[in-house]
């Protein structure tokens, strides 16, 4: 199976603004989210496949996955629960509309913007 990089990636602003993460980490999250929510229904991509898609090294992908997992943005599932076994799946923890708090904040921020725009007219 050949996967090409999608036309766009969805990367949560929380990940973009996290000082503990690098830009590649956000791109890796975007690939994980894309394969989980839009393409394959779960992320089973190898580090090599993601590295090819993003044009980075396998070790960059490995480090990104570790940082994302260490900071609670993804959950990595291994066969038999053993980290020395092959990775089975990566689950994104932040998804669009995944919490009422995200939706409430979105609505509140947009209501403020719309109100200020309306006052200028």
CATH 1.10.10.10, domain 13-96, yes or no: yes
pLDDT digits (tens, 9 = 90+) for 95-104: 876 554 544 5
Digit-coded pLDDT (tens) for 1-24: 566 778 899 999 999 999 999 999
User: Which ranges in the chain belong to alpha helices (H)?
Assistant: 13-16, 23-33, 47-54, 58-70, 100-120
pLDDT at 121 over 70: no
Burial class (CB in 10 A: 0-12, 13-18, 19+), 34: buried
Of 63, 81, 60, 61, nearest to 71 by C-alpha is 63
Q: Scan for tokens 């394959």, then name that residue.
A: 40
């Amino acid at each position: 199976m050949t996967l090409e990089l999608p036309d766009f990636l969805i990367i949560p602003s929380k990940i973009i603004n996290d000082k503990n993460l690098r830009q590649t980490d956000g791109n890796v999250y975007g690939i994980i989210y894309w394969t989980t929510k839009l393409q394959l229904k779960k992320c089973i991509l190898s580090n090599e496949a993601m590295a090819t898609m993003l044009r980075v090294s396998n070790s960059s992908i490995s480090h990104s996955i570790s940082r994302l997992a260490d900071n609670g943005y993804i959950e990595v599932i291994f066969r038999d629960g053993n980290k020395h076994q092959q990775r089975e799946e990566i689950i994104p923890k932040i998804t669009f509309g995944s919490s009422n708090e995200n939706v409430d904040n979105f609505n509140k921020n947009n209501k403020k913007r719309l109100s200020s725009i309306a006052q200028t007219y």
